[in-house]
Amino acid sequence: MAPSRLPESVVKLGWISFFTDVASEMVYPVVPLFLTAALGAPVVVIGAIEGVAEAIVSVMKGLSGWHCDRMGKRVPYIKWGYGLGAASKPLMALAVSWPMVFVARAVDRLGKGLRTTARDALIADSVDASRGGRAYGFHRMMDTSGAIVGVLIALALLALLPGQYRLIFLLAALPGAAAVLLTFKIREANTGTSTATDACSQSIRPQAAPGSRPWSGLPAVYWKTLGLLVVFAFANSSDALLLLRAKNLGLSDVQTILGYTLFNIVYAASAYPLGALSDRFGRWGMVISGWTLYAAVYFGFALADMSAVWWLFPLYGLFMGLTEGVGRALIRDTIPEEKKGTAMGIFHMSIGLTMLAGSVTAGLLWDVVGPKAPFVLGGSVALAAAVLAIFLLPRPAQGRRA
């Protein structure tokens, strides 16, 4: 099925994410360079900033998912979330110390926390489980295509204006503003309970029972699937460490971001077709393959010389294509209609908080033990997650999708 045959709301959300990631990826690979070169921050601060930022986004994803189920709406969270993300870019340009970078990242992550669960829930509202791989794969493809454009813009600006990090942050506000404008074209999905005419004022889907615990009613297969994904999340520390490792191995700023661009190209090219294949042939096989590939890539970064970076980054992109959209579809397979936002929120919150622990641990290992240590840890935990998944696959989901 071609992406054009996906629901209109899924396609629009894809374009919104495209422009948002143009803005975000103009900034993201530059931030660790800005922190270390311009502001003199140690590596552990980078791990802490990224980890705490992810903690903020993770908690907000959980709260916003539960709340958008209670309200029966997704769109207001999407609008506010993308708006805050766009506002964070000029804040970054004003930073004169690393705590100010933290504030700007916190604003950005607050926005991401508001929008991500509501967006994924709106995609779940718009397609049934049999098309989840296509829908989430298409979204990851658009998201990452925006990342490629953003990284290429950052690469060009760094080459033309070396060290002018603040200017890049200011220019990144422009595609962010385009994404915000597009959010006003999004409408709630009609799940069959009523007809929506005003997306921001009308409830259109089953709502959670008042007074019930947010996590009540979620099936055992959901919790088992989530548990396996959380084990792997500890291995999945901030991508900023990959950029720093590339620099540590001798690459220049431009070469480092070019390697990161290769990662994004492979990710964008693989996300949609692999998501569609997971609808037909099963999700868990792809996820386990992706985790095994991740382990190989991280061991490679631990043992690599400078030349190896050029094939490690593309393999990392393939790992993302195998797991990111497919992981969301795995969760989509297990959740009841009235709990989509809550279930997606718990998923995102659990993954993010675990990644916080992983990012801070990795940063400390880099500073205390050495640059190889966080990659050895990440590869080892990823292999352990793959082995656990082989023996503990959630059988009901496996019966439907694997």
* pLDDT value of position 203: 41
Q: Is residue 50 part of a domain?
A: yes
Q: Is residue 385 part of a domain?
A: yes
Q: How far apart are CA 12 and CA 397, in angstroms?
A: 29
Tokens of 46: 């980078």
Distances in whole angstroms, Cα of residue 44 to Cα of each of 100, 272, 374: 16, 35, 12
* Domain containing residue 222: 7-186+218-401
- Higher-confidence residue of 64 and 81: namely 81
- Tens of pLDDT along 366-379? 888 988 999 999 99
Give the count of domains, the chain. 1
Tokens of 286: 């792809």
- Higher-confidence residue of 69 and 316: namely 316
CATH code for position 250? 1.20.1250.20
Q: Is residue 330 part of a domain?
A: yes
Q: Is residue 208 part of a domain?
A: no
- Tens of pLDDT along 198-245? 333 344 444 444 445 555 667 788 888 888 889 999 998 878 788 888
Among 311, 18, 27, 17, residue whose Cα is nearest residue 151? 27
- Higher-confidence residue of 382 and 137: namely 382
Tokens of 273: 């077709």
Q: Is residue 201 part of a domain?
A: no
Q: Is residue 153 part of a domain?
A: yes
* pTM listed for this prediction: 0.68
Q: How far apart are CA 245 and CA 373, in angstroms?
A: 11
Amino acid (1-letter code) at residue 106:
A
Q: Is residue 86 part of a domain?
A: yes
Q: How far apart are CA 320 and CA 162, in angstroms?
A: 30
Q: Is residue 11 part of a domain?
A: yes
Per the CB < 8 A criterion, the answer to whether 20 and 145 are in contact is no
* pLDDT value of position 201: 35
Per the CB < 8 A criterion, the answer to whether 126 and 13 are in contact is no
Whether 40 shows a pLDDT value over 90: the answer reads no
